[in-house]
Amino acid sequence: MNPNNYLILAGILFTIGAFGVVVRRNAIIVFMSVEMMLNAANLAFATAARTTGTLDGQVAAFFVMVVAAAEVVVGLAIIVTIFRTRRSASIDEANLLKY
């Protein structure tokens, strides 16, 4: 089994996640897309661990998970706060910070 396949899969998932961030307007789905990108990165880390024969890649993936958890907590809290004031979860609604 060629490890390149794992990397290609990671690339596909990352691209789909990025696409989702750009085209979706629901803030929660945007967040999910970000999580998908992080997962793709984790997959690449795990693959790297296998190709190099060390566990460092897995540790990196572990740290990414920790950071992702923290990010999700704060991000969702922000979404809830915005929803409270603007009664909408669309990120296009929050566009006052502009020219």
Contacts to other proteins from residues 37-56, by CB under 8 A: 39, 42-43, 46-47, 49-56
- How many whole angstroms separate alpha carbon 62 and alpha carbon 31? 19
The reply to whether 86 sits near other proteins by the rule CB under 8 A is no
**Rama region for 95: left / alpha / beta (φ>0; ψ in -120 to 50; rest):** alpha
Q: How many residues bind other proteins (CB under 8 A)?
A: 80
The reply to whether 31 sits near other proteins by the rule CB under 8 A is yes
The reply to whether 33 sits near other proteins by the rule CB under 8 A is yes
Taking CB under 8 A as the rule, which mask of x and - marks residues 55-84 in contact with other proteins? xx-xx-xxx-xxxxxxxxxx-xxxxxx-xx
Query: Torsion angle, CA of 48/54/55/61, rounded to 10 degrees?
Result: -20
Nearest-approach distance from CB 17 to other proteins, in angstroms:
7
Residue 57 tokens read as 């890649």
